[in-house]
Amino acid sequence: MALYLLYESSSGYALFQAQGLDEIGQNTEAVRNSVADLNRFGKVVQLTAFQPFESAIDGLNQCNSVSEGLMTDELRNFLELNLPKVKEGKKSKFSLGVAEPKLGSHISETTKITCQSGEFVLELLRGVRLHFDKFIKDLKPGDLEKAQLGLAHSYSRAKVKFNVNRVDNMVIQAIFLLDTLDKDINSFSMRVREWYSWHFPELVKIVNDNYLYARVAKLIEDKSKLSEEHIPALTEILGDEDKAKEIVEAGKASMGQDLTPVDLINVQLFAQRVMDLAEYRKNLYDYLVTKMNDIAPNLASLIGEVVGARLISHAGSLTNFSEKALFRALKTRGNTPKYGLIFHSSFIGRASAKNKGRMARYLANKCSIASRIDCFAERGSTVFGEKLREQVEERLEFYDKGVAPRKNIDVMKSAIESTQNKDVEMEEAPPFEASAKKSKKKKSKPEDAPVAATNGDASEDAKSEKKKKKEKRKIEEDHYLTPEKTNTEQDGTAKKKKKKSKDEGTAASETKKKKKSKE
């Protein structure tokens, strides 16, 4: 059976044919010895076809698909053109050697070409990689190295690219640090208790909390100086005036030994360090909560931020957790587990002893759904996590009281509807703000502006307001202009009357003069 080798270089796809394998007898050691010598290896392996990549972007896409075990259309066309054709219903008389087993399985599924990837094929491909520049005659010295360097940079850059707001690595580091801080604060607080108990042993029974004990020890310092003046400060720390009075009374009759000022200073410094660690632990927890709400909001709303972060850190990343969220018992065909990281959830604690295993498996199913939604959804929201949490609550009631829960299809439909409604509200929000800004610019009165529920109503109301304002302005202009018009008209008529009277007077005087002249 003839053997062909597929080599994915940084500059393109190359197909080689291995000949004379009967002489070698498919011995890995013999191939390994002949790889270093180009004369011997050139007789065994010969170049059949070479197809360069069109551009650097095309090379990056081909490299990404090969790394994921997928065969592209370009690779399929290249193989179909250069490999011998296989008749339908018959087995191929050749095999294709591939470095990636996933890629070989995908090629065999789609093209029915038998692929193999073993040590023998890998040694042959190692020889091809070593002498590749000798097989391609058109390559100039240094071209292959430049192509390898450019593809390596672009491939690694594409793999490293991520969304800053959805970095699960920060969550993994934060939950690891949170767990170590819990252990360290606990051990340091016990050390403060033991150390200060030599001086004030009665304080341990009064104050149980480690953080509050460190604060009280930092405040008291020397027990012999305790007085009623310390009661307000102690009540502010403890939140209980009775405990503060009890501490003052216990300090007066304490059986502890006295400490030197240097010992007290060291105790105070160590107590301050414990307080600082406790404060930093609170800030780190707040940071973890915000990051989980950004990265996996549905998982956080379903099972909590801390347990969700532990699940992500155990899987390695949110993508691994969403893609590989399957029971190990189903793979190994063993007994299903009852306990694990999910056991720290409050849902498992609320379930009865006989239902803890079933509740854990049901919760694991919902966590896998929530993680997949968080990983592959374009927009982050807590709607699905809240609905899944409601389902878990209903399952608890079903185990306790026998109340039938809702079906998963109905719950998911309601979640999708609520997300769509939120998207519509988000899309409609900016135009409403714009209309409000325009109304402010035009100095419209707040009493005249009606509050609209939707965008269409707001625009219609705005148009009607404009029309009303124009009409008001016209009426006011007419109102202010009409008196002036009437006054001018009156003046005009009065002037006309005066002119008429003057004309009449002049005509009468002329007639009198004529009469006198006749006489």
Return the pLDDT at 358: 86
Burial (CB count <10 Å: 0-12, 13-18, 19+), residue 181: middle
Per cent of the chain over pLDDT 90 is: 24
Model confidence pTM above 0.85: no
**What is the residue-wise DSSP string for 13-69?**
EEEEEE--HHHHTS-HHHHHHHHS-HHHHHHHEEEEEEEE-SSHHHHHHHHHHHHTT
Q: By the 8 A CB rule, do 224 and 248 touch?
A: no
pLDDT at 66 over 70: yes
pLDDT at 429: 61
pLDDT at 484 over 50: no
**Ranges 274-283, 344-353, 388-397, 484-493: which has the least confidence:** 484-493
- Per-residue pLDDT tens over the stretch 235-249: 999 988 999 999 999
More confident position, 401 or 35:
401
CA distances from 309 to 180, 305, 317, 356 (A): 14, 6, 10, 22
Residue range 333-350, pLDDT digits in tens:
666 555 678 877 888 888
Q: What is the pLDDT of residue 327?
A: 55
Mean pLDDT of 266-284: 94
Integer Cα distance of 258 and 201 in angstroms:
12
Write down the pLDDT at residue 457.
44
pLDDT reported for residue 468: 57
Report the distance separating Cα 214 and Cα 98, nearest Å: 65
How would you class 53 by CB atoms within 10 Å of its CB: exposed for 0-12, middle for 13-18, buried for 19 or more?
Answer: buried
Q: What residue segments make up the domains of the chain, in order of their start?
A: 2-160, 170-284, 296-422
By CB neighbour count within 10 A (0-12 exposed, 13-18 middle, 19+ buried), where does 187 fall? exposed
Residue 131: its pLDDT value, please?
84
Q: What is the DSSP string of 275-323?
A: HHHHHHHHHHHHHHHHHHHHH-HHHHHHH-HHHHHHHHHHHSSHHHHHH
Stretch 438-461: mean pLDDT, rounded?
Answer: 42
Which CATH number is associated with domain 2-160? Answer: 3.30.420.220
Mean pLDDT of 99-124: 86
150 vs 9: CA distance, rounded Å: 12
Residue 366: closest CA among 310, 399, 411: 411
**C-beta separation of 100 from 80 below 8 A:** no
Kindly indicate the confidence band of residue 493, based on its pLDDT and cuts at 50, 70 and 90: very low
Strand order in the sheet with 12-18: 45-52, 12-18, 2-8, 94-97, 115-116
Helix (H, G, I), strand (E, B) or coil at 422: helix
Average pLDDT over residues 453-468: 46
Confidence of residue 23 (pLDDT cuts 50, 70, 90): very low
What is d(CA 217, CA 267) in angstroms, rounded to the nearest whole number? Answer: 8
| CATH class of the structural domain 296-422 | mainly alpha
Q: Fold match between 2-160 and 170-284? A: no
Query: Identity (one letter) of the amino acid at 410?
Result: D
Q: What is the band of 475 on the pLDDT scale with cuts at 50, 70, 90?
A: low
Q: Which of 137-151, 198-212, 271-285 has the lowest mean pLDDT?
A: 137-151
Q: Which residue has the higher pLDDT, 128 or 29?
A: 128
As a whole number of angstroms, the distance between CA 435 and CA 84 comes to 69
- 199, two tokens: 């001086």
Residue 83, number of CB atoms within 10 A of its CB? 20
Residue 156 structure tokens: 């690694």
Beta bridge partners of 96: 4, 115
Task: Tell me the H-state helices in 355-407.
Answer: 356-376, 383-401
Q: Name which of 22-26, 185-189, 260-264, 312-316 the model is least confident about.
A: 22-26
Please report the pLDDT score of residue 449 as a whole number.
Answer: 39
For residue 326, what pLDDT is reported?
A: 52
Q: At 446, is the pLDDT very low, low, confident or very high (cuts 50, 70, 90)?
A: very low
pLDDT-based confidence at residue 188 (cuts at 50, 70, 90): very high
Place of tokens 């592209």: 72
Q: What is the pLDDT of residue 474?
A: 55
Mean pLDDT of 109-125: 85
CATH class of 170-284: mainly alpha
Contact 127, 31 (CB under 8 A): yes
- Between 396 and 496, name the one with better pLDDT: 396
Give residue 279's pLDDT band: very low, low, confident or very high (50, 70, 90): very high
